[in-house]
Amino acid sequence: MITSKLPNVGTTIFTRMSQLAAETGALNLSQGFPDFDGPQALRDAVGKHIASGHNQYSPMTGLPALREQVAAKISRSYGVQVNADTEVTITPGATQAIFCAIQAVIHAGDEVIVFDPCYDSYEPSVELAGGRCVHVQLGLEDFSIDWQKLEEALSPRTRMIILNSPHNPSGALISRAELDQLARLIADRDIYLISDEVYEHLVFDGVPHVSVLSHPELYHRAFVVSSFGKTYHVTGWKTGYVVAPPALTAELRKVHQYVSFCGVTPLQYALADFMADHPEHVEELPAFYQAKRDLFCDLLSPSRFTFKPVAGTYFQLVDYSRIRPDLNDVDMAEWLTREHGVATIPVSVFYQTPPQGQRLVRLCFAKREETLRAAAEKLCVI
């Protein structure tokens, strides 16, 4: 008989909704991936490097040229110098980076604070390390940190806090003042941080992304995770990276080398080339996605959904209380998919204990204009 190490885990909601969209022919605004390709020059570079014979293992820590490009991007974006050799590690996706960081420092009986709604990979990773998640609910209106609840959640067993900004699913951002407040709160505690910043370049309305990398008091205890897939529109490449101080990086790499050893070699070469040749891509990304957000919100404005344009990520939350208040959000997501041809994600799946009466679904606007127009047309007639 199998005794499951994850008895409460089934197939993720993202897989289930994408499968339902495929079965019903619905437009898939559920799972967070673009329906357009990454830059042509980036895709061409992969073929070039495969043909050139770059098909064997890369270094365990990641291709040196790519680690150097990550360090250069961090310097340009945040004015911070990190060592490409001792602080940057390339991983097969940000999810793997988070998993390895948790396995590196969490021991049996440790507690990890997560903020609900939170991404679904955090808790299973903590449980597999023998730890326990303590859930702190974000504000219902603006998804900000409730500092009193956070302070109450701290205990002698607290070993880690996981941050996520820009925040999935809400799009909320953490401010510098909030990072300062967190630094004061944990200054005298032995607590590590994971800062999940995979949407770091998808921040809108001229507001800068505030990275833990730029906060020395927090960075010395942090693993900062990001994603090439999100930044370069190639989520299927499953390539990410983690930046951490040398001592934490050394511990992370001990785990990483036995999970995957290294990332996919030709993809790393292609990314290094593209980042060197096109540093402007990162600078242009906020405007690129803000145009999609603004178009989608304008198209949805005649609908009966209520919403506020998100501050970051490529997800828009909409409240359906005026349409089907009788349905919980899981049933609503299925109803929208089957009856109206648009697949969404119910927000309750991101909570340990969903707020009573909350009626929110998440829509992905990382789509071509024709997809957004077709989806909005369907949603506006409900």
- Domain 40-278 bears CATH identifier 3.40.640.10: yes
pLDDT score for 53: 97
CA distance 86 to 67: 10
The burial of 188, by beta-carbon neighbours within 10 Å (0-12 exposed, 13-18 middle, 19 or more buried), is given as: exposed
pTM: 0.97
pLDDT score for 1: 86
CA distance 48 to 54: 9
pLDDT tens string 343-376: 999 999 999 999 999 999 999 999 999 999 999 9
Residues of the chain with confidence (pLDDT) below 70: none
Per the CATH hierarchy, to which homologous superfamily does domain 13-32+281-381 belong?
A: Aspartate Aminotransferase, domain 1 (3.90.1150.10)
pLDDT score for 356: 94
Give the phi and the psi of residue 30 in degrees, each rounded to 5: -95, -75
Q: Which letter does DSSP use for residue 138 in this model?
A: P
CA distance 78 to 360: 34
pLDDT tens string 92-137: 999 999 999 999 999 999 999 999 999 999 999 999 999 999 999 9
pLDDT score for 11: 85
326 is written with which tokens? 């009788």
Sorted by where each begins, the domain ranges of the chain are 13-32+281-381, 40-278
